[in-house]
Amino acid sequence: MSIFEHMTWGLGTPNLPKLGARAILQRGYVDFLGDRAGMYGEPDEAWRAECDTVLPHFLRELTKMAKAYQICTDMDEVFRLEHKGWVCEASPRRSYGYLYLDIYHPAN
């Protein structure tokens, strides 16, 4: 059993289902840590499979933003990216090393 088993990851947006995560943000790179992520709500297998296909896109875009210093570890802004009907909201929350993110389908 992991000490993080009952932790909730991400920004805490009310959108469900969603993938919430805490990634590492340093020197222009975003490193996604699978053990610091969770799926919340009741995602079905199709939702999970589609999320697996859009996650790499969002991570590439966030990395580009970090390399261009559009996202820095001392910022508190929430950045919103959209891709193929999915939304990624991300913020460092002035954490000096983490990037909190939620990925979900917006409510219709």
pLDDT in tens, 37-62: 999 999 999 999 999 999 999 999 99
What pLDDT score was predicted for residue 82?
A: 98
Which of the four CATH numbers 3.40.1410.10, 3.30.450.20, 3.40.50.10140, 3.40.50.300 does domain 19-78+87-104 have? 3.30.450.20
Name the pTM for this structure.
0.90
What pLDDT score was predicted for residue 107?
A: 79
What pLDDT score was predicted for residue 5?
A: 52
What pLDDT score was predicted for residue 3?
A: 46
From residue 102, how far is each of 1, 21, 52 by CA, in Å?
24, 7, 13
Ranges of residues in the chain with a pLDDT under 70 are: 1-7, 108
